[in-house]
Structure 1
Amino acid sequence: VKEICSYMGVSSDTVYRWVETHEMPVHRMGRLFKFKISEIDAWVKAGGANRKPQKGNSQ
């Protein structure tokens, strides 16, 4: 998470919020989050970082 925060220039709270609302592409390996830079770049280009979270979209 620290590395993706640094890459994107956002806080860890922001990344966790995006992951929690199922907007940000992430792969879970146990307790670890793995991010593919190509997926993150495509998500940002598609406007994923600007979308408002949908209600009822959390686990």
Structure 2
Amino acid sequence: MEDRWLSIKEICKHLGVSSDTVYKWIDKFGMPAHRMGRLWKFNKKEVDDWVKAGGATYENTVS
């Protein structure tokens, strides 16, 4: 099983959302992300678990 950190571009592709959405989720909704210098990195399992737990539900993301 591949267990590597994903870039912002890769996590956006995985979730089917824009980078603006991902940055908003990090800032406002606690999306699991790790800052490495100037870059954000993501653990796919952590993000998938966050989504399954309702972190990206419509009610949580509507401004």
What TM-score results when the alignment is normalised by the length of structure 2?
Answer: 0.75
2:60 is matched by which residue type in structure 1?
K
Structure 1 position 14 matched with structure 2 position 9: no
**Structure 2: unaligned runs, 5 residues or longer:** 1-7
In 1, are the aligned partners of 2:29 and 2:60 still within 8 Å (CA)? no
Residue in 2 that maps onto 1:37: 44
Quote the sequence identity (%). 60
**Structure 1: unaligned runs, 5 residues or longer:** 54-59
Structure 1 position 52 matched with structure 2 position 60: yes
Deviation at 1:21, TM superposition (A): 1.6
1:30 is matched by which residue type in structure 2?
G
Equivalent pairs counted in the alignment come to 53
Structure 1 position 2 matched with structure 2 position 6: no
CA distance in 2, matches of 1:9, 1:37: 14
Runs of 4+ in structure 1 displaced over 6 angstroms? Answer: none
Provide the alpha-carbon RMSD of the alignment. Answer: 1.4
